[in-house]
């Protein structure tokens, strides 16, 4: 976020005994941005939304627009939104070329990122295919596949769902659901791996999540993306003067729900992917629990790679209890 608002933090708290990590607390502390929009003129509030989010601003803004339109009675069937899709692809490329190399002990590939981002912005898909075939991607992929992180790659993955179908699972959002969203009462992971329904799960847990992002990039470059992939958006009128929008961002499912009182915002709820992926009962707690706690520097390094694989939209901190 911008405008002086602290975007929040994913906080990990670890407790150990007998040389092992025995307690793991995962909490996503985020500012109540949606609450600040209540009471504002609806169109003004929606215009503010993309200005409040430094990451995924296109998706946040489009979800706000679609939710408001749905509250006014204009539904929107699931479709690929070009602006959100381009943002997703740039974010995937950023992760692979700027964030992943340092985790592998290499320098960020800034020139390659600039070239790839230009291809995405201009829609030069064939040119991006050539970039994705460069040795750097093959080398990083091989290194990911060769690594063993010692954790179970299995995870409860959020199924593909559009706004209309979401009403059966969640008839109406509330503050508790926004803090800790759930699928059928359980924590569920969202993002590229979930959109591919574990297609990369033959790799280790962390590698699978990185490779799913790369495959989504390859699908876009080859022109074979389908509705349900990153960039998909939909909206539905959940009830009179209440609209809900869903958008598949780089990090996963983003949901906005707006209730109107005349032309003003009566209620606003935002469920971000970070709340799904860093749920207290989500994959990170399982990955860290039971690990050797003797070398805290090694735990810090493992936690950094684990957090990066799940990709929060905010900073993170680790505290020993």
All structural domains of the chain with their residue ranges = 9-320
Pairing of strands 264-271, 315-320: unpaired
Least confident of 120-134, 185-199, 226-240, 262-276: 185-199
Return the pLDDT at 52: 85
Contact between 117 and 93 under an 8 Å Cβ cutoff? The reply is: yes
- Residue 207: pLDDT over 70: yes
Cα separation, 162 vs 79, in Å, equals 10
Q: Could you tell me which residues come within 8 angstroms of residue 106 by beta carbon, excluding any fewer than 6 positions away?
A: none
Contact between 239 and 166 under an 8 Å Cβ cutoff? The reply is: no
Q: Which residue has the higher pLDDT, 268 or 155?
A: 268
- Residue 3: pLDDT over 70: no
pLDDT confidence bin for 2, thresholds 50/70/90: very low
Q: What residues form DSSP beta bridges with 270? A: 256
- Residue 162: pLDDT over 60: yes
Residues of the chain with pLDDT > 90, as a percent, come to: 83
- Residue 136: pLDDT over 90: yes
E-assigned strand segments in the chain: 9-17, 20-29, 76-80, 232-239, 242-248, 253-261, 264-271, 315-320
Mean pLDDT of the chain: 92
pLDDT confidence bin for 261, thresholds 50/70/90: very high
Each residue of 275-301: b (16+ CB within 10 Å) or e? bbbbbeebbbbbbbeebebeeeeebee
**Nearest Cα residue to 255 out of 158, 115, 186, 130:** 158
Q: What does residue 103 show for φ and ψ, rounded to 5 degrees?
A: -65, -25
Return the pLDDT at 35: 84
Structure-token pair, residue 48: 């503010």
Residues of the chain with pLDDT > 70, as a percent, come to: 95
Return the pLDDT at 153: 58
pLDDT confidence bin for 103, thresholds 50/70/90: very high
Residues 156-160 have a mean pLDDT of 93
Instruction: Give the CA count within 13 Å in the CB-facing half-sphere of 103.
Output: 24
- Residue 33: pLDDT over 60: yes
Residues 265-288 have a mean pLDDT of 94
Residues 238-264 have a mean pLDDT of 97
Return the pLDDT at 198: 67
Return the pLDDT at 244: 98
Residues 111-122 have a mean pLDDT of 98
* C-alpha dihedral sign at 293, 154, 55, 186: negative
User: What is the third-level CATH fold of 9-320?
Assistant: Cytochrome-c3 Hydrogenase; chain B (1.10.645)
| Element counts in the chain: helices (H) and strands (E) | 15, 8
Return the pLDDT at 154: 60
Cα separation, 3 vs 240, in Å, equals 33
pLDDT confidence bin for 293, thresholds 50/70/90: very high
Contact between 195 and 248 under an 8 Å Cβ cutoff? The reply is: yes
Return the pLDDT at 61: 96
- Residue 91: pLDDT over 70: yes
Return the pLDDT at 148: 75
Assign 15 to helix, strand or coil.
strand
Return the pLDDT at 4: 46
- Residue 31: pLDDT over 80: no
Tens-digit pLDDT profile for residues 208-250? 999 999 999 999 999 999 999 999 999 999 999 999 999 999 9
**Nearest Cα residue to 247 out of 213, 279, 272:** 272
Structure-token pair, residue 80: 């690929």
pLDDT confidence bin for 78, thresholds 50/70/90: very high
Q: What residues form DSSP beta bridges with 268? A: 258
Q: Which residue has the higher pLDDT, 270 or 155?
A: 270
pLDDT confidence bin for 253, thresholds 50/70/90: very high
Assign 18 to helix, strand or coil.
coil
């Amino acid at each position: 976020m911008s405008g002086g608002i602290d975007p929040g933090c994913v906080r990990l708290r670890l407790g150990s005994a007998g040389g092992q990590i025995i307690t793991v607390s995962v909490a996503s502390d985020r500012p109540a941005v949606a609450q600040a929009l209540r009471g504002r003129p609806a169109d003004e509030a929606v215009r503010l939304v993309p200005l409040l989010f430094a990451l995924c601003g296109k998706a946040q803004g489009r979800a706000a627009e679609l939710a408001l339109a749905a509250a006014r009675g204009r539904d929107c069937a699931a479709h690929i939104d070009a602006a959100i899709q381009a943002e997703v692809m740039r974010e995937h490329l950023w992760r692979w070329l700027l964030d992943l190399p340092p985790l592998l002990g290499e320098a960020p590939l800034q020139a390659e990122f600039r070239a790839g981002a230009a291809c995405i912005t201009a829609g030069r898909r064939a040119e991006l295919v050539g970039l994705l075939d460069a040795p750097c991607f093959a080398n990083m992929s091989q290194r990911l596949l060769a690594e063993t992180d010692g954790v179970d790659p299995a995870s409860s993955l959020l199924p593909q769902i559009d706004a209309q179908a979401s009403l059966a699972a969640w008839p109406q959002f509330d503050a508790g659901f926004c803090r800790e969203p759930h699928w059928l009462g359980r924590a569920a992971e969202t993002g590229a791996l979930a959109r591919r329904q574990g297609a990369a799960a033959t790799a280790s847990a962390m590698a699978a999540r990185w490779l799913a992002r790369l495959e989504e990039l390859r699908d876009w470059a080859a022109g074979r993306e389908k509705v349900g992939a990153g960039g998909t958006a939909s909206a539905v009128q959940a009830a009179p003067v209440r609209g809900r929008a869903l958008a598949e961002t780089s990090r996963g499912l983003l949901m906005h729900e707006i209730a109107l009182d005349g032309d003003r915002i009566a209620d606003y709820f935002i469920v971000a992917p970070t709340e799904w992926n860093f749920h207290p009962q989500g994959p990170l707690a399982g990955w860290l629990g039971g690990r050797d706690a003797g070398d805290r520097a090694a735990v810090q390094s493992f936690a950094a790679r684990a957090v990066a694989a799940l990709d929060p939209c905010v900073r993170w901190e680790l505290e020993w209890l």
